[in-house]
Structure 1
Amino acid sequence: MRFLPLQIGERWFAARWLEAWLEAERDQLVLWIPVLLGTGIAAWFVLPDPASWTGYMLGGAGIAAAGLILPLGGRTGRLLMIGGIVAALGCGLAWWRAERAAAPVLARPAVVAFTARVERVDALAARDLIRLRLAPVSRADLPPRVRVNLPSGDVPLGIARGAVVTLRARLMPPPGAALPGAYDYRRVAWFDGVGATGRGFAPVTLVTSGERAGADLRARLSGHIRDRLPGAGGAVAASLATGDQGAIPEETAEAMRRSGLAHLLSVSGLHITAAVGATMLLVLRLLALSPWAALHWRLPVIAAAAGALAAIGYTWLAGAEVPTVRSCVAALLVLAALVLGREAVTLRLVAAGALVVLLVWPEALVGASFQLSFAAVVAIVALHEGARVGGWFAPREEGGGRRLLRGLASLLLTGVVVELALLPIGLYHFHKAGLYGALANIVAIPLTTFVVMPLEAAALLLDGVGLGAPLWWLCGQALGLLLWIAHTVAAAPGSVAALPAMPGGAYALVIGGGLWLALWRTSVRWAGIGSVIIGLGWTVATPAPDLLITRDGRHLALRTAAGTALLRERAGDYVRDVLSEGAGIDGELPALDDVAGARCNADLCLATARSGARVLATRSGYFVDARALNRWCARVDVVVSERRLPVGCRPRLLRIDRPVLERSGGVAVTFSPPRVRTVEHAGDHHPWINPPTLAPTPSTTDRRWRGRRAAGRDRAGRFDARRTTASPPLR
């Protein structure tokens, strides 16, 4: 007999309503298992230290214990028990994965000569670079895995996975995020086991050759396709076949991103589905030619097995990235459902794919690739599982014209829903999102699925007998049309929405509301719209930062009355992109020298922000008279320098110099309301923040160069010309 308080509790209206609602949603409850697991993983990345992670897991265990004391026959108790355990498991899983991936990181930049074994070779043809992932041999002073970029002309012939090479490179620790909210490669490198990155120098000596099978097949196939189709079309064709995007020109890649067609370049559900469908159709047609086989064998089962092998092989060929693995798992589940006679494409299938990926690679949750791919699939399946939408677009007896219009309407509605689902993810990770992607995908997806990919596959098969040229020409024409669509849509006015960094809380509200809307089936689901609206309102109401400073202090972007401008005119493309994205601006940023009201010379720049705050920044490595600099510091609100400022430099609000930036990383400042956001946070104990380090032994060349620098000389041994005043003084 149960306790009396619980018997009384069952009579409460709220308890009865909750049990009735969960009973109505019983088929949807299992969909929340990967969501709760992901919540625990996200909590590990958001919370700062082991005490917080332990507290979260204990809280999950407490919720599970609370579920045990509720009536065992009710769904509420089971939901709390399972939910608490899964959420705690997610946090512990991410913690375990981070500790398991632990590897030493380079302590400081250095030029070193070393011998290493090649683990991976990636050709970045568009940048004329080869990227090598290397495992140094017999070098205890170097991390176990480093990543080096080499000019294509400096790479010896025959280099492949398993080869041993000797080279000299300038290595540095993996860089963190340049600004708050920017891409953090340091975290990605930690889970990849990469402890240093850099650039190699010629000569590179091949000590022993590597294996030519396996991973080299992808490179050879990509090279063959680019030989048949030169230019951007061939690079896109290679990406469609193998997932190798290294040869795609930057302007083409940018056009695909701005037009909402970038998902076509990553081997994912569209490509796996096409490969599986083509394989099954071919196997069925060939086996059906034999009447005996058609009568005695279950041809659909055999075709499904062939499709599964095609999915696995294609995933291996494309490099087994997260979207490809997710799509492969989903395809295998669909094939299994077809064999068992069950409904194939459901949200349960999507949940199973997400669960597999999160259990194997929990860190994938915080990556844009995982979020974009699963958001798109969840939106599509949830939309077409709805009774009303399913009724609108269900097959029926009607004329060809109406069937075509219904199909186009289905594509348009699906595209709009997918774009709405991907919009907040694009704004959070990239600070911009395409607005016309739904219209572009109406033509681009059928063109890619039913024209480009079949022509490419047939051309590759016919190349075996030397007859593929006509099909390659047709494929090139189709790809030309695809690229024309991408460039036209990308150039359309208002094609991209740009916003500054999206607050993490707003992003959580939007994603949580979207999942609530997609995974439930009763009227309670519509409460998710309120969460989405609040999150988007919070995002729009967040002001753009007035001042952005990179982690090295060399570059900044200031929002003035005339627009946002850069401190240094010669900033590189990467720095310009990061600063423009952080400022929420789609386009090139001018230099402060060209902004009305700013006063700049070779060493200093003085400008007034739109809020009225005065900002002084140094922009050269030359000596500036300390007394003159101190006088200017007293007249301004903020002083920024990549060097250590004099003790007497005391601005009214903020003093940001090298010692500050070493603790804070990149900085974003808003003057009204006053707010300062930094990349680094005090008390953050994630393992990539303060990793175990190795001090490298520099090469002889590096020691000579550092010695000349210490003596006040440049690389050629000449003394630097030190100036005591800065060009024309600021007035």
Structure 2
Amino acid sequence: MVRYLLDLPQALLGGQRGHLFAWTPVLLACGIGIYFSLTWEPPVWMLWTALLAVVFVPAQALIGPQPVLGPLVVALSLISGGFGLAGLRAHQVAGPVLHFRYYGPIEGRVVNIDRSASDAVRLTLDQVVLQDMDPARVPVRVRVSLHGGPNISPQPGMVVILTGHLGPPGGAVEPGGFDFRRHAWFLRLGAVGYTRTPVLMLEPQGSGLTVFRARMSLSARVQDQLPGETGAFAAAVMSGDRSGMAQGTLSTLRDTNLAHLLAISGLHMGLLAGFAFASLRIGLLLVPRCRHYWPVKKLAAVGALGAAAGYLALSGGNVATERAFIMVAAALTALMLDRRALSLRSVAMAALIVLVFMPEALLGPGFQMSFAATVALVAAFEQVTTAQRGHRLPGWVSAVLSVIISSAVAGAATAPVGMAHFNQASVYGLLANLVSVPVMGALVVPFGVVAVLLMPLGLEWAPLWGMGLGLDWILLVAQHVAQWEGAVRPVVAPGTGVLVIIATGGLILCLWRGWGRLAGVLPLLLGMLLWNGAARPEILISDTGTLVGVMTAQGRGLSRETGSGFIADNWLENDGFGGDQMRAAARWPGAVQSRLAEASVFGRQILHVQGKRAARQISGCEAGKIVVSSVPLSLEGDCMIFDPERLKRTGSIAFWKTENGLEMVTASDVSGDRLWHDIPKKRAVDDGALRRARIDQ
């Protein structure tokens, strides 16, 4: 028995020989995940030491053919390397962060244009100048939403000036939620805000930002020919510019699981490269001399690679597009070398390149959904190809089956990621994709390529008209499907680690060779079981003190009907109940009057004070009472007070139901003291009670 257990690792790994490379990005991702899960910041010497461990990857070959020791050394080295890469990247992008509320003139160069969740045009500025501030303390980049007017039409590279409000990037709306501070840190965003005054031009477009200017120029030209949402959709597909799309359209596409058609990812890159490859190959074959003397197939692959590289540049280069380009480049290079074009090795290579240069991408839904879909599709079609050996199907049957299988597999692989990040499931997403994806491949992308080629001649109107027909169809499908009853189902946020467990099961199913891959079903089932039993906090307090949420039998009740809408929407989505803020306010289990909201949970009184006038009505409070205020508050008594001053240190707060009563967890407990969480060091005397307090029944 002992001998069997000792030989088991060798037997398991022996069957995977030649297929272990696909696990390298998984191991690197494990190290990256460990770094981001810490609640303390590792010293730089530790990060460099961890990164240097990667040298053991090639060095392990020197120890000879060890079937167990060799892979183990490589695995530990990759995990260590991922840890070091993530930490050093966090230090590399470090920049000043605004630590106070600023109001005044803001000057900067436009480096990005998009839209906010409130559908306002939003500018990202660099070379920022703020009044009466030391340049060394001014953020590298700031992002400002434009709520005023009339405004100039901002252009890439234009230096603008405006009067606006700025503040530090906000933290998680609840402990363990999406951490915008961390996200902003890696974008080098040191402040975010808004303006209600016009934006003025100080200097026209200067030198630099050539690609950004080309993208926006292409977007403007497309939208001149195709007005409305169709033109905005076409601009997003061709240039990656979504600033023209209304939030309603984006929401409809998300509700029908068609939002991936907006992202320039594997589908678009593959269709473009395939169209360019086929067109070049056919064109060269029509010339007798080329057909007989030139390597037509390889030349077409070179041309298609150039077209894909140009598309990558115009798209803005997000994670999904970079992954897609690397995949296409690997496939076309394989064609040039007469090798197999598509395999899990090329997927692993793409993931490695992305993670090495942008380790933080691992945490984003774009990376997770993109690679989940790609790995699942490659693995599935490997099995389909094996099963079809010796059994040829008619061409049209094979094409239909390919569309159905690819849509079903990609949908199943990305569904857990989408539900975890966006808290909703599209019930009819598969059907919507089945009638939309073929149109994207047959009309939208080919006509888009022809339109770009004809733009120098001013003849792009004709192919753009054909492209518009395809996009109109997709928008029509999205609008109709979204209106079907039960088209979207809200999903409760999963507990900590649930998505990792599900991903582990999926990777085993896709990457492991032999019958052992069926072991991946167990983590999948475990993850689904844990997700189904996910609990939610009994009480939630926003980090500004402007909103309180209490769980009731009917769902979460909110202390306000309006205000703090972003926080309210996130809480309700994470609860898996859906609905809007006004309906949630009607569920508040207590009285609301004179901007004072009271409720009782587990025998404890909660009081939410909204504004200075309401605060003046409170003079004292008894022990055990929880008082939340949107303004600074000083009361006599032993109650727990959460006002903006204290909440600035703790972040948002959640109270969980336990056997002993209510347990408090703060956002700072979960996030810890990291580079992107510059928590003030000065503590109040009673802050010890706020670290991880337990309120007994």
Task: Say yes or no: TM over 0.5.
Answer: yes
Aligned match of 1:269: 266
Distance 1:571-1:596 versus aligned 2 partners, 3 A rule? closer
How far the C-alpha of 1:656 sits from its partner, in A, is 3.5
Q: Over aligned residues, Cα RMSD in angstroms? A: 3.3
The CA distance in 2 between the partners of 1:415 and 1:394, in whole Å, is: 22
Instruction: Name the TM-score, length of structure 2 as normaliser.
Output: 0.88
Q: Which moved more, 1:204-213 or 1:615-624?
A: 204-213
Once the two structures are superposed, the pairs formed by residues 540-559 of structure 1 within 5 Å of their partners are 540-559=532-551
In the alignment, which of 651, 665, 670 is matched to residue 665 of structure 1? 651
Q: Structure 1 CA distance, aligned partners of 2:199 and 2:246?
A: 27
- Equivalent of 2:81, from 80, 84, 89? 89
What is the 5 A alignment of 1:173-322?
A: 173-200=168-195, 201-202=197-198, 204-211=200-207, 213-322=210-319
The within-5 A match list for 1:235-634 is 235-386=232-383, 389-392=384-387, 396-399=391-394, 403-404=396-397, 406-461=398-453, 468-469=460-461, 471-571=463-563, 573-590=565-582, 594-595=586-587, 598-608=590-600, 614-625=605-616, 630=621
Distance 1:277 1:593 in 2: 53
Aligned with 2:556: secondary structure?
strand
CA contact (8 A) 2:562 2:581 kept: no
Contact 1:326 1:353 (C-alpha < 8 Å) held by counterparts: yes
Match of 1:714 in 2: none
C-alpha distance in 2, partners of 1:55/1:12? 38
Task: Name which of 21, 32, 38 aligns with 2:12.
Answer: 21
In structure 2, C-alpha distance between the alignment counterparts of 1:615 and 1:327, rounded to whole Å:
51
Cα displacement (A) at 1:37: 0.6
Q: Which amino acid in 1 is paired with 2:283?
A: L
- Distance in 1 separating the partners of 2:44 and 2:523: 26
Q: Supply the distance in 2 between the matched residues of 1:532 and 1:172 (Cα, whole angstroms).
A: 42
What residue identity is the alignment partner of 2:141? Answer: R
SS at match of 2:241: coil
Aligned residue for 2:316, secondary structure, equals: coil
Offset from partner CA, 1:257-310 (integer Å, 9 cap, x none) = 121111111101111112111211222222222211221111111111111111
Which of residues 668, 672, 686 in structure 2 aligns to 1:680? 668
Deviates more, 1:665-674 or 1:69-78: 69-78
Counterpart AA for 1:131: L
Whether the 8 Å contact between 1:159 and 1:206 is mirrored in structure 2 is no
Task: Provide the secondary structure at the position in 1 that maps to 2:636.
Answer: coil
User: Does the residue aligned with 2:543 lie in a helix, a strand or coil?
Assistant: coil
Show the counterpart of 2:167.
172
Cα offsets for 1:148-196 (capped at 9, x unmatched): 33358554457432x4344433221122222234332211221122212
Q: Answer with 223-232 or 555-564: which moved more.
A: 555-564
Higher RCO structure, 1 or 2 (CA under 8 Å, sep 6+): 1
Cα 1:213/1:46, change in 2 over 3 Å? closer
Query: Could you say which residue in structure 2 is the equivalent of 1:721?
Result: none
| Cα distance change on mapping 1:123 and 1:288 into 2, 3 Å | farther
Paired amino acid for 1:374? F
Q: Tell whether the 8 Å contact from 1:154 to 1:204 is kept in structure 2 after alignment.
A: no
| Deviation of 1:377 (Å) | 0.4
What do the CA deviations read for 1:599-642 (whole angstroms, capped 9, x no partner)?
Answer: 11122112345x67653212233144566652xx56x8543223
Distance across 2 between alignment mates of 1:357 and 1:593 = 44
**SS in structure 2 opposite 1:605?**
strand
- Per the TM alignment, residue 472 of structure 1 is displaced from its structure 2 partner at its CA by 4.0
Q: Do the aligned partners of 1:226 and 1:235 also contact (CA within 8 Å) in 2?
A: yes
Equivalent pairs counted in the alignment come to: 671
Matching residue's letter, 1:365: L
- Indicate the SS of the match to 2:613: coil
**Whole-angstrom CA distance in 2 between matches of 1:114 and 1:129:** 16
Distance between the aligned counterparts of 2:161 and 2:435, measured in 1?
Answer: 49
Q: CA deviation at 1:395?
A: 8.6
* CA-to-aligned-CA distance 1:318-337 (integer Å, 9 cap, x gap): 10111111111111100011
Identity value in percent = 31
Task: Decide whether aligned partners of structure 1 residues 447 and 621 sit closer, same or farther in structure 2, where only a CA change above 3 A counts.
Answer: farther
In structure 1, the gaps of 5 or more residues are: 1-8, 694-731
Q: Which of residues 132, 135, 138 is equivalent to 2:127?
A: 135
Task: Tell me the amino acid that sits aligned with residue 507 of structure 1.
Answer: L
Instruction: Please say if residues 53 and 91 of structure 1, whose CA atoms lie closer than 8 Å, have aligned partners that are also in contact.
Output: no
Shift of 1:596: 7.6
Change (3 A) 1:675 1:72: farther
Displacement of 1:78: 0.3
How far residue 564 of structure 1 moved from its aligned partner, in angstroms, is: 2.4
Task: Indicate yes or no: 2:628 matched with 1:640.
Answer: yes
1:48 maps onto 2:39 in alignment = yes
8 Å CA contact 2:39–2:672 kept in 1: the answer is yes
Q: Is the 8 A contact 1:60 1:84 kept in 2?
A: no
Counterpart for residue 149 of structure 1: 145
Q: Is contact 2:561-2:581 (8 Å) kept?
A: no
* 5+ residue gaps, structure 2: 682-697
Corresponding position of 1:716: none
> In the superposition, relative to structure 1, how do residues 419 and 81 fare at CA in structure 2: closer, same or farther (>3 Å)?
same
- Alpha-carbon deviation of 1:46? 0.3
Whether the 8 Å contact between 2:588 and 2:599 is mirrored in structure 1 is: no
Give the aligned residue type for 1:639.
Answer: V
The separation in 2 between residues aligned to 1:528 and 1:158, in whole angstroms, is: 51
Q: 1:649 to 1:309 in 2, by over 3 A?
A: farther
Q: Tell me the SS of whatever aligns to 1:116.
A: strand
TM-score normalized with structure 1 length: 0.84
| Alpha-carbon distance between aligned partners in 2 of 1:421 and 1:477, rounded to the nearest angstrom | 30
SS at match of 2:582: coil
Conserved 8 A contact 2:557-2:589 = no
- Pair 177,468 (structure 1): closer, same or farther in 2 beyond 3 Å: same
Q: Deviations over 1:461-507 (max 9, x none)?
A: 55655555555444333322212222333333333343333222222
Moved more, 531-540 or 306-315: 531-540
- Which amino acid in 1 is paired with 2:512? W
Q: Which AA in structure 1 matches 2:414?
A: L
Q: Is residue 126–residue 247 contact of structure 1 (8 Å, CA) maintained in 2?
A: no
Instruction: Give the direction of change, closer, same or farther, for the CA distance of 1:51–1:329 in structure 2 (3 Å limit).
Output: closer
CA contact (8 A) 2:110 2:154 kept: no
Q: Give the residue type in structure 2 aligned to 1:206.
A: L
Find 1:79's aligned residue among 56, 71, 74: 71
CA contact (8 A) 1:128 1:152 kept: no
Separation of aligned partners in 2, 1:691 and 1:617:
25
What is the one-letter code of the residue matched to 2:165?
R
The 8 Å contact of residues 609 and 615 in structure 2, kept in 1 or not, is answered as no
CA-to-partner distance for each residue in 1:336-370, whole Å, 9 max, x for gaps? Answer: 11111111111100000000001111111111111
Specify the SS of the correspondent of 1:281.
helix
